[in-house]
Amino acid sequence: MRRSLLVLSFGALLGTGFGGCSKPQSAAQPRPAPAVKQDVGQQPAIDAAAQAPGALDTLRRELAEATDSDTRVRFIDQIAAQGPNARPALDDLVEASASSDARVRWHAARAIGLIGEDALSVLPKLISLLSDEDPIVVAQSAAAIGLIRKDDERSDTPTKDVSLYASAFDPLAKTTLHPDARARRAAVRALQVLKPAPEVLLPLFSRQMADADPSVVLPALHTLADMKEEAMPVLLEALKDPKSRYWASVALAEIGPAAAAAVEPLAKLASEGEVDEKLQAILALAAIGTPAQAAAPQLVKALESNEEMLQFAAAFAIGKLHVPEAEAALERTAGSENKFLASIAAWARAQLHPDDKSLVADAVDRLKNGLGSDKPRVRCSSVSGLSDLSGFLDDGGKQELADEFSALIADADPDVALAAGAALVRLGQPAVAPLEAKLADAASRLPAMEILGAIGTPAKQALPAMMAALADPDETYRSDAAVAIANFGSDAATAVPNLVKLLQAGSNGPGTMYAAAYALGRIGPAAKPALEKLRELTASEDELMATVAVWSALKIEPTDSSLFASAVPRLRKALRSEKELVRLEAAVALGDIGLAASPALPLLELVAEDDPLPAVRQAAEQAIAKISAGAAQPVAP
């Protein structure tokens, strides 16, 4: 099983290792400033009105009498806002957790967790919900288990309670391999709060890793990697067990610099493990960066081995880590009969000596030859290697690379095309002219448009050509152009009239109208001429169109309180969108609304804790902070 993953891992090394065979991300896409992460066990602000005498009794009665899910959820959230004081409602919440509506179940699980240690008696119910068919219910149940244990700070926990917590270990370990990232992340965090002894946790984790299919394990590893420092205790323990150390190395490679604490055990594994384990350990060391220079002896040993795959990995790692002790071994490897291996060694030598023009030129020439290979892996790696060396070249050299890369954005192999796109984004302004020329090529114009948008402001000279695409007969191309133009933000103000035209139904399909409304919102206040049409669209029967229109109108005029009443419900729904960018922008917009967006707090808390995309989680955290800050402001008399 691991041997099949070896090919995948090696593809990651030579497909993305040099510079990233991955889809270019928009340089202009907003990245929310990091917010202070809500600590597990932290209770929400409690509404003073909800604490009035008899308030809880009233809420319990209204919950029992509620006949629809929306109303039940509202009362459950109001009960949850009382935190530990909601203990008398525990039985009501347990009953709600058995609802046929998944929304009611997860809100109830969340509320149980917020009661804290006084909800310990219903821990078995939360454990049973880890098998729920709805992933959000699973995630919230795992989080609730962690919240209860976090609140239970007794040093002399009774034996029966210790056993109760221990009964959650195995179900949570199984949940770390759940198909949904939110459930996996919540399970890992809950395990860390419960703190099972290493001799208990390690066998659980190792058994799950060893017994599962790679298609199940890899998503779990991505989740651990996404958690970075939070996952390090689990992964460091996993490195000690032969059954799980390979998988732990895969996750550590994704974590990168934040995994510096693993350098010593990884160096040992790179020297003493099986071939596939050595390879993955070397990849992880390369990803960690400077702290991994301590593994220089093991990397040189691998470079001088008879295992070609280890030589590839070691040459790459040595170049990334700038290991001068490997100079002689690299020089010998650069003369290898395997031209691909020789080109990697030449690339590594250029990394060690970026001021040596002859070494850089030699590496560039070798990698350029690789661009014409009939092997996609070689083409992809050559693109990424050249991208890494682009910073050592003069303007003429960068322009030559831009021409080479732009010829590959429509490559038959998607990894090669994505690597070329990423390299062009990295080049920035030198890539603009060849990409603009590709807008006239039917086979290349869609990726060229996307890459120009990802480059953002440095590509502003191409804006007229991109605006012309808004009138193209092909609706898909019009939509892509609108999304690309959105990445210019306020710099695209001249495109507002053209985008407003795309808001007209009939001549434009829904996809084009969504894209145009989104672009206008990204342009911001400079798109005020579009406000009248956007306001009209907020009443659209097309729910997504109405949501995008509300979002866009608020981005153009964020202080328009008349939109708040319709905006908050729609943005709450947008937080549940399958599209990552929609969730991100919805969270940002709710934060901009402030106090009036308070009804969205429970869902924002869910997104902040459980969304698979870090940028979305950060946006939700920032929105929570803004809304909470508004609630803390004194009301003017």
What CATH number did the domain enclosing 429 receive?
1.25.40
Tell me the pLDDT band of 29, cut-offs 50, 70 and 90.
very low
95 found inside a domain? yes
Same domain, 21 and 79: no
Query: Is there a single domain that holds both residue 30 and residue 117?
Result: no
Name 508's bridge partners: 505
Confirm whether 163 is domain-assigned. Answer: yes
Q: Which two tokens stand for residue 91?
A: 């039985």
Top pLDDT among 230 and 172 is at 172
Mean pLDDT score across all residues of the chain: 85
**In the predicted structure, residue 394 carries a pLDDT above the cut 90:** yes
- Check whether residue 69 and residue 123 sit in a common domain: yes
Quote the domain boundaries for residue 44: 39-196
Whole-angstrom distance, CA of residue 603 vs CA of residue 621 = 11
pLDDT reading at 632 higher than 60: no
82 and 189 fall within a common domain: yes
Residue 169 lies in a domain: yes
Q: What is the pLDDT of residue 99?
A: 96
Per-residue model confidence (pLDDT) at position 205:
65
The answer for residues whose C-beta is within 8 angstroms of residue 121's C-beta and 6 or more apart is 90
pLDDT digits (tens, 9 = 90+) for 424-467: 999 999 999 999 999 999 999 999 999 999 999 999 999 999 99
Specify whether the CB–CB gap between 10 and 313 falls below 8 A: yes
The β-bridge partners of 505 are 508
Confidence of residue 54 (pLDDT cuts 50, 70, 90): confident
Written as one string, the DSSP assignment of 235-299 is: HHHHTTSTTTHHHHHHHHHHHGGGGGGGHHHHHHHHHHS-HHHHHHHHHHHHHH-GGGGGGHHHH
172 and 25 in a common domain: no
Percentage of the chain beyond pLDDT 70 is 87
Is the full-model pTM beyond 0.75?
no
Q: Helix (H, G, I), strand (E, B), or coil: what is residue 218?
A: helix
Q: How confident is the model at residue 40 (pLDDT cuts 50, 70, 90)?
A: very low
Of the candidates 450, 533, 526, the residue with the CA atom closest to the CA atom of residue 485: 450
**Residues 21, 103: one domain?**
no
CB 108 within 8 A of CB 93: yes
Return the ∠ at Cα 417 (arms to 416 and 421), rounded to 5°.
115
The verdict on 108 and 181 lying in the same domain is yes
- Same domain, yes or no: 23 and 43: no
The confidence band for 299, taking pLDDT boundaries of 50, 70 and 90, is: very high
pLDDT of residue 44 exceeding 70, the answer is no
Of 231, 219, 237, nearest in space to 192 by CA: 231
Residue that the structure tokens 């429509």 belong to: 410
pLDDT in tens, 133-176: 999 999 999 999 999 999 887 777 788 888 999 999 999 988 98
Q: What is the CATH number of the domain that holds 111?
A: 1.25.10.10
| Residue 243 in this model has a pLDDT that exceeds 90 | no
For residue 34, what pLDDT is reported? 27
Say if 418 falls within a structural domain. Answer: yes
Least confident piece of the model among 28-37, 238-247, 312-321: 28-37
Same domain, 154 and 26: no
Q: How far from 329 is each of 273, 282, 284, 306, 366, CA to CA, in Å?
A: 22, 17, 21, 13, 18
In terms of pLDDT, which residue wins out, 393 or 34? Answer: 393
> pLDDT, tens digit, for every residue of 537-574?
988 888 788 888 988 998 899 888 888 888 888 888 88
28 belongs to a structural domain: yes
Q: Which of 425, 455, 485 is the last residue of a domain?
A: 455
Query: CA-CA distance, 118 to 300, in Å (whole number)?
Result: 57
Question: Per residue in 361-387, pLDDT tens?
Answer: 999 999 999 999 999 999 999 999 999
- Any residues with CB less than 8 A from the CB of 276 and at least 6 apart, and which? 2, 3, 5, 6, 9, 246
Give the chain's domain count: 2
46 and 184, same structural domain?
yes
Write out pLDDT tens, residues 590-610. Answer: 988 888 888 888 889 888 877
Domain closes at, from 196, 225, 245: 196
Q: Residue 482: what pLDDT?
A: 96
Residues 25 and 120 occupy one common structural domain: no
Residue 293's pLDDT is what?
95
Among residues 196, 213, 231, the one where a domain terminates is: 196
Q: Is there a single domain that holds both residue 145 and residue 118? A: yes
Query: Cα(231)–Cα(269) distance, rounded to whole angstroms?
Result: 19
The answer to whether position 45 is within a domain reads yes
The CA–CA distances, whole Å, from 137 to 36, 66, 83, 105, 141 equal: 25, 21, 19, 6, 6
Phi, psi of 209 (to 5 degrees): -65, -40
What does the alpha-carbon distance between residue 604 and residue 397 come to, in Å, rounded to a whole number? 48
What is the pLDDT, as a whole number, of residue 347? 97
Q: What is the pLDDT of residue 41?
A: 35
pLDDT band at 198 (very low <50, low <70, confident <90, very high): low
Q: Cβ neighbours of residue 553 under 8 Å, at least 6 residues apart?
A: 521, 531, 534, 535, 538, 560, 563
